[in-house]
Amino acid sequence: MTVVSQQVQPQTLRERAREAVRAEMRREALRLFLDKGFDATTAGDIAAAVGTSARSFFRYFPTKEDVLVGESIPFGTHVRDALTARPADEPIWPALRAALDRLIDEMATDHQRSLDMMRVIMSTPALRAYHFEKHLAWEDLLVPVVESRLNDGDALRARTLAHSALACLDVALAEWVGLDGKPDLGALLDTVFATVAAL
């Protein structure tokens, strides 16, 4: 089998500038959501905080929800890839738990920001719904990998396991936020996964 290497193309100056504006909008949005609440903050408020117009805001983000939740959507592919890379003889439930380590590690790189984001998400019904939709998209990515590891062609079982793993993540995140980010998130997730495994 021939492996074709793909070089990552460097970002253009325009792309770097665009990403810098997106990052600044995310920072200001989180600050405003914490200060005023998600519902009381408009796209115009976020745009004004970075010195641009509400119309410009929607060139960077399709919705206000995407400012906060949208950046975590690509992590579904990282979790899927991590699951794919787990040893073939590893039982599926521990493999699913281990596949979430990349997300846990990423959140730990900026603990306070991660905690603030999850605090806003957990306290805002619209964002919680958006967060749930994100996990459904992650689930769709995980199911084929889980099914291939089960070797029994049971799609319902595969979806049940993928959905349960993401539900465990949500329980651990809610507990972590409720305890003001003090416990280790990975340890919390271990406890939740172990609780389900013991049933």
- The predicted model scores a pTM of 0.85
User: Could you tell me where in the chain the CATH 1.10.10.60 domains are found?
Assistant: 13-63
pLDDT per position as a tens digit, 62-114: 989 889 887 666 789 999 999 999 999 999 999 999 999 999 999 999 999 99
Mean pLDDT of 117-136: 90
CB 106 within 8 A of CB 44: no
- Model confidence at 153, pLDDT cuts 50, 70, 90, reads confident
Domain 70-197 has CATH 1.10.357.10: yes
Give the pLDDT of residue 17: 82
Report which of 164, 162, 133, 112 is spatially closest to residue 70, judged by C-alpha positions.
133
Q: What is the mean pLDDT of residues 38-42?
A: 94
Indicate the CATH number of 13-63 among 1.10.10.10, 3.40.630.30, 1.10.10.60, 3.40.50.20: 1.10.10.60
Q: Distance between CA 151 and CA 161 in Å, rounded?
A: 14
Q: Rounded to an integer, what distance in angstroms lies between the CA atom of residue 74 and that of residue 142? A: 13
d(CA 115, CA 119): 6
% of the chain at pLDDT higher than 70: 93
Mean pLDDT, the chain, rounded, equals: 90
**DSSP state, residue 152:** S
In angstroms, the CA 52 to CA 46 distance is 9
23: closest CA among 62, 56, 68? 68
Q: Where do you find CATH 1.10.357.10 in the chain?
A: 70-197
Q: What would you measure as the largest C-alpha separation in the chain, in angstroms?
A: 56
Q: Give the whole-angstrom CA distance, residue 117 versus residue 122.
A: 9
pLDDT score recorded for residue 10: 58
Binning pLDDT at 50, 70 and 90, where does residue 5 land?
very low
Looking at residues 143-154, what average pLDDT do you find? 92
Look up residue 170 and give its two tokens: 């949500």
